Amino acid sequence: MPYVAVIGAGPAGLMAAERLAQGGARVTVFERMPSAGRKLLMAGRGGLNLTHSEPLEDFLARYGDAAPWLRDSMLAFPPQALRAWCEALGQETFIGSSGRVFPKAMKASPLLRAWLRRLDTQGVALMVRHAWQGWDAEGHLVFETPDGVRCETADAVVLALGGASWPKLGSDGAWTKEFERHGIAVAGFRPANCGFHVAWSEVFRDRFEGVPLKNVVLTHGDVRSRGDVIITRDGLEGGAIYPLSAPLRDAIAAHGETALTISLRPDVPIDRLTEKLSAPRGKQSLATFLRKALKLSPLVTALLHECLRAEGKALASLTPQEIAACIQALPLTLTGVAPLARAISSAGGIARNELDEHLMLRKLPGVFACGEMIDWEAPTGGYLLQGSFALGVAAGEGALRWLRTPK
């Protein structure tokens, strides 16, 4: 029975381990943290968004330039297969109003517990507090453990070491040095699904930090996203801005800043806004008038003042038509990207051309890679988890295929 070492106990690594065990391999999963699936558990704190129900071609398009590379893995393990896999673990799923797919339990812990029980019955061993250090001169896998250095020899290796976001959960990207030592190209890690910096005034920051801006439409170039964002001390973060994070991040890298347009009342036609704003204000303050005429919250009104002040304009000096135009398309300058350690996920990692079609490293025969440690990225909405699960399946299948091939 061939022996395979899987390094990393996140979704990709555990899925690779399951496929390997089902294919007849003896498997040990090595994890540097005290327990498995820590980032999965973090993802499930607000409701575990496993995947999405949209048509597969639309789904694949969400992966940008990585879509052609991911295609075969996704076709082999599409969203429907992930849902069936969950339900086989006793975790029913449902489709939310946005098309996103969740387990009915709305959290990750029941799924992870059921999964680890099944892996145990399949004979998969889990070794925690084993931090992979690379290979020694004889080609052994080297681990730092509480009991000292441990060396392992395996017939094949699947690496699922993660990206570099949320390093306290186990993935810090430190493995890149070992890959560079072997001449394997690794793209530098960058934040993905992240927040952005805005030069708020002290008054605005102190009053509105942590307050949600609800049901807005954000536009950058020809990309739009709808939902909520949160005002942070340094800028913005939240579900509506995450789908735009890649183009926003790249624009800031190229130009030092970039403009984001916010529609504060996306469902109200601009002529209707103008009509309401043209009503007599009487002795009402502008803030009171905007609240009564358009139901604008204090945050929205303050944001209008904040953005216009940055352009040298005063809200009170604008005509009803100009105020309506600002409400429908308020420009906001983003000046930086929130730190990688606070990002939901990361871009960067092993260059895709370093891997063959079965996810084996061309320069390290018998060594496979999967999950976020490869250079691809995806928005929130279930795409990141689906990609990680599918790549874990592909790496497990690739390792089995390699083990069965005469050497």
pLDDT tens for the chain, 407 residues long, are: 999 999 999 999 999 999 999 999 999 999 999 999 999 998 877 789 999 999 999 999 999 999 999 999 999 999 999 999 999 999 999 999 999 999 999 999 999 999 999 999 999 999 999 999 999 999 999 999 999 999 999 999 999 999 999 888 888 999 999 999 999 999 999 999 999 999 999 999 999 999 999 999 999 999 999 999 999 999 999 999 999 999 999 999 999 999 999 999 999 999 999 999 999 988 899 999 999 999 999 999 999 999 999 889 999 999 999 999 999 999 999 999 999 998 999 999 999 999 999 999 999 999 999 999 999 999 989 999 999 999 999 999 999 999 999 87
Q: Which of 294, 314, 337 is the last residue of a domain?
A: 337
Output the pLDDT for position 407. 75
What predicted TM-score, i.e. pTM, was given to this entire model? 0.92
Domain co-membership, 24 together with 166:
yes
Domain co-membership, 23 together with 137:
yes
| Number of folded domains that form the chain | 2
Output the pLDDT for position 45. 79
Q: Which of 337, 372, 396 is the last residue of a domain?
A: 337
CATH code at position 11: 3.50.50.60
Domain co-membership, 265 together with 350:
no
Distance CA 10, CA 39 (A): 7
Domain co-membership, 315 together with 279:
yes
Of 394, 354, 385, nearest in space to 185 by CA: 354
Distances in Å between the alpha carbon of 364 and those of 265, 267, 360?
54, 55, 8
Domain co-membership, 312 together with 390:
no
Tokens 């906001």 correspond to 332
Domain co-membership, 150 together with 8:
yes
Cβ contacts of residue 166 below 8 Å, gap of 6+?
Answer: 39, 42, 341, 342, 343, 344
Domain co-membership, 328 together with 208:
yes
Q: Which of 318, 337, 356 is the last residue of a domain?
A: 337
Domain co-membership, 307 together with 375:
no
For 350, the domain range is: 3-192+343-404
Domain co-membership, 116 together with 150:
yes
Domain co-membership, 217 together with 360:
no
Domain co-membership, 134 together with 246:
no
Domain co-membership, 372 together with 320:
no
